[in-house]
Amino acid sequence: MLWKKETSKNNAMYVDLYALNGGRVNFNEVDSYVRRDESSSTLNKNDAVSLQKRKQGNEYFSEGNWTDAMEMYSESLCYAENGSKNISLAYANRSACFLKMKLYNECLVDIELAKKAGYPADLMPNLDQRKEECLEAIKKVAPSMKLGSELSFESDEHFPCMANVLKIDQDAEGNLGIFAKKDIDVGQTIVVEKAFMTYLHTQYGSKCNICLKDQTNLVACKKCTVAMFCGECQSNSLHEYECGLRCSNDSQTNSVIMQTVRSCLLAIDMFSSVEDLMNFVEQAIKSDRNQIPTTLSGVKSQYAAFLKLPMNPADQNLIDVIASTAIAFTIQKILLEIPKINSTFKLKKYRRFLMHLITHHYRAMKMNSLESGWIVDEGNGEYVALASQTGVMKCYLKHSCAPNVVVTDLHGNIVIITVRPVKKGQQIMHSIYTDLVKFPKDERHRILWNFCRMTCKCARCEGDTAPFKLRKEMCSNPNFQYIVKQLIAPARNDDEAKQKMMDNCKRFLRKYGLKPWCEELGMVVQVYFELINHRQEYNQENKHVEKKSFNMSLLTGLLITLLLLAISCYYF
């Protein structure tokens, strides 16, 4: 149904997706269900809440929990009323966190922000002393853990996010893939991509609302309490439309809906007219998905690649079609409540187009978004994602149950890091679901089939197995023994211990990483995965943040309920 026109005529309208099954599905009912929290406002600045957040921050600070304290001071900024002294006090306290976290530039910026916001004169000596301390510390700064924060090689000329040791090409089956142009070592950062679409689901003091940058001098939106911006994003054009918009108090439902709203706003904003947008989208969709892209250096080329992201073939069944249509219906209603969008999309022809665009964006993100920063939801005790990002580079990676890279996130970027050596000419492969690597073949195949109708023929599923002698050799390898020993009885859990563990993994993988897959190799790759995923917490113990063990899709419990509701509308 998606992108079908009513007739074969050139100027025909797109079919009405909401008339699905003769219009018997009552989407209005679903809409009112999803948007049950519509009345709760985010335009609720409140000095009392701001003060309470700052006090909570002080408590974390006194416990030596710098990260949580920093986030709490940021939240205090979100709630502080314009012109209130809470603003300068929160900046000043946050600067102390940055100092402790050895983020010296950020510390200096916050000190200036505190002064600009009218920091009380009688307290000023403390602030000046902190500044001096900070300037002193900068001189002795040690090289920090850089893995993932920048490319390990020069960047490619046309794909600035990709190392110049890679190329995008067609594989033997004619599908696009990324290949090594020369040998690449373990632990190399080969892609650092600023995602095309990002969304912060909850904990609004933790990251930039637009680009998800963290550990930076976030400044709060002047109107709402749920958006903070980094230096680069303060003048963004998106938040103006979104400010005050919220569809649900359930963070996951809200973000599934609102991130699609944002992606549409982003696309609409890129073009001077609906006609231009329509032509662009139609071109992108019609073009060959496996054509080798020539560039990804502008926002439009990124959008074209976004439109060509693969969608989940498992979504073709009736239940999923109804669910995604119901969600699209809600999203369209929210979009049309924005006056500018409403007037731009007046024509029926345009609204039909919008219907398809929303569904397309929603399905593309459902299949391709990378969710990160798992936290325990205080309401229901379930794991929820802190943020999600949809980039395009990941879709050029082939799936393998014996991956040679891991895809992760760092400071708002999508990062790809090698976890085994890669030989010149070899294809870059990741595991669609990171934890899949742990499971036996039958289980892996069942999961892959259920979630994306895939039958894996990777080297691990179909190829050679490691001979017994080789496995025995791996087991007696000193790096392997060190890793096992640490897993059974970890000596310590500090930065140094983790770094040592990483070094041991790296040495083992350098030696055996290209051998046929076996349990020993798999275990080390898995440990290395985990260490990479946790490296952000190296400097601080963050008691809220834990890694969720198995992440399958965006569908939350609520959306499943919604789905059941849609089905009951359909049958009765």
Torsion angles phi and psi, residue 430, rounded to 5: -125, 170
Q: Which is nearer to Zn ion, 90 or 277 (CB)?
A: 90
Query: What's the closest the beta carbon of residue 502 comes to Zn ion, in angstroms?
Result: 26
- Residues of span 441-470 touching Zn ion by CB under 5 A: 456, 458, 461
Q: How far apart are CA 345 and CA 231, in angstroms?
A: 33
Query: What's the closest the beta carbon of residue 179 comes to Zn ion, in angstroms?
Result: 19
Q: Which is nearer to Zn ion, 188 or 254 (CB)?
A: 254
Q: How far apart are CA 419 and CA 269, in angstroms?
A: 39
Confirm or reject binding of residue 558 to Zn ion (CB under 5 A).
Answer: no
Q: Which is nearer to Zn ion, 213 or 360 (CB)?
A: 213
Q: Which is nearer to Zn ion, 98 or 350 (CB)?
A: 98
Strands 176-180, 166-170: parallel, antiparallel or unpaired by DSSP? antiparallel
Which of 223, 349, 438, 500 is in the footprint of Zn ion by CB under 5 A?
Answer: 223
In sequence order, what DSSP letters do the residues of 448-513 get, joined into one string? Answer: HHHHH------HHHHS----HHHHHHHHH-HHHHHHHHHHHS-S--SHHHHHHHHHHHHHHHHHHT
Spell out the SS3 assignment of 199-230: EECCCCCCECCCCCCECCCCEECCCCCCCEEC
Q: Which is nearer to Zn ion, 238 or 314 (CB)?
A: 238
Stretch touching Zn ion by CB under 5 A, among 72-80, 159-167, 202-210, 373-381 = 202-210
Which of 208, 261, 331, 415 is in the footprint of Zn ion by CB under 5 A?
Answer: 208
From 285, 308, 312, 367, select the one nearest 168 (Cα to Cα).
308
Compute the half-sphere exposure of residue 541: CA atoms within 13 Å on the CB side of its CA: 8
Q: Which is nearer to Zn ion, 187 or 205 (CB)?
A: 205
Q: What's the chain's Rg over C-alpha atoms?
A: 25
Spatial contact of 310 and 453, defined as CB atoms under 8 Å apart: no
If residue 170 lies in a helix (H) or strand (E), which one and from where to where?
strand 166-170
Confirm or reject binding of residue 85 to Zn ion (CB under 5 A).
Answer: no
Query: What's the closest the beta carbon of residue 403 comes to Zn ion, in angstroms?
Result: 10
Query: What's the closest the beta carbon of residue 228 comes to Zn ion, in angstroms?
Result: 9
Which of 163, 227, 559, 569 is in the footprint of Zn ion by CB under 5 A?
Answer: 227
From 400, 433, 397, select the one nearest 416 (Cα to Cα).
397
Spatial contact of 53 and 392, defined as CB atoms under 8 Å apart: no
Q: Which is nearer to Zn ion, 35 or 444 (CB)?
A: 444
Query: What's the closest the beta carbon of residue 413 comes to Zn ion, in angstroms?
Result: 11
Terminus-to-terminus CA distance in the chain, angstroms?
Answer: 23
- Residues of span 312-371 touching Zn ion by CB under 5 A: none
Confirm or reject binding of residue 233 to Zn ion (CB under 5 A).
Answer: yes
Residue type, 119: Y
If residue 562 lies in a helix (H) or strand (E), which one and from where to where?
helix 557-571
Stretch touching Zn ion by CB under 5 A, among 238-246, 384-392, 487-495, 504-512 = 238-246
Q: Which is nearer to Zn ion, 221 or 307 (CB)?
A: 221
Centroid of chain to Cα 499: 25
Which of 20, 230, 267, 338 is in the footprint of Zn ion by CB under 5 A?
Answer: 230
Place of tokens 């109804």: 322
In sequence order, what DSSP letters do the residues of 456-469 get, joined into one string? Answer: ---HHHHS----HH
Confirm or reject binding of residue 525 to Zn ion (CB under 5 A).
Answer: no
Which of 213, 308, 430, 507 is in the footprint of Zn ion by CB under 5 A?
Answer: 213
Q: Is 52 helix (H, G, I), strand (E, B) or coil?
A: helix
Q: Which is nearer to Zn ion, 293 or 522 (CB)?
A: 522
Confirm or reject binding of residue 221 to Zn ion (CB under 5 A).
Answer: yes
Query: What's the closest the beta carbon of residue 479 comes to Zn ion, in angstroms?
Result: 26
From 223, 225, 214, select the one nearest 67 (Cα to Cα).
214
Query: What's the closest the beta carbon of residue 402 comes to Zn ion, in angstroms?
Result: 7
Q: Which is nearer to Zn ion, 441 or 485 (CB)?
A: 441
Stretch touching Zn ion by CB under 5 A, among 64-72, 226-234, 265-273, 493-501 = 226-234
532, β-bridge pairs:
none
Place of tokens 């397309």: 360
Confirm or reject binding of residue 211 to Zn ion (CB under 5 A).
Answer: yes
Spatial contact of 174 and 290, defined as CB atoms under 8 Å apart: yes
Confirm or reject binding of residue 147 to Zn ion (CB under 5 A).
Answer: no
Q: Is 408 helix (H, G, I), strand (E, B) or coil?
A: strand
Query: What's the closest the beta carbon of residue 420 comes to Zn ion, in angstroms?
Result: 15
Beta strands (DSSP E) in 362-433 are: 370-372, 375-376, 383-384, 387-390, 398-399, 405-410, 413-418, 429-430
Q: How many residues bind to Zn ion according to rule CB under 5 A? A: 15
Residues 387-426 as x/- pattern, contact with Zn ion by CB under 5 A: --------------x-------------------------
Q: Which is nearer to Zn ion, 437 or 501 (CB)?
A: 437
Joined together, the tokens standing for residue 38 give: 């519509």
Joined together, the tokens standing for residue 379 give: 């309401």
Which of 103, 168, 210, 278 is in the footprint of Zn ion by CB under 5 A?
Answer: 210
- Residues of span 242-301 touching Zn ion by CB under 5 A: 243
Stretch touching Zn ion by CB under 5 A, among 60-68, 204-212, 479-487, 507-515 = 204-212
Query: What's the closest the beta carbon of residue 478 comes to Zn ion, in angstroms?
Result: 30
Contact positions vs Zn ion (CB under 5 A): 208, 210-211, 213, 221, 223-224, 227, 230, 233, 243, 401, 456, 458, 461
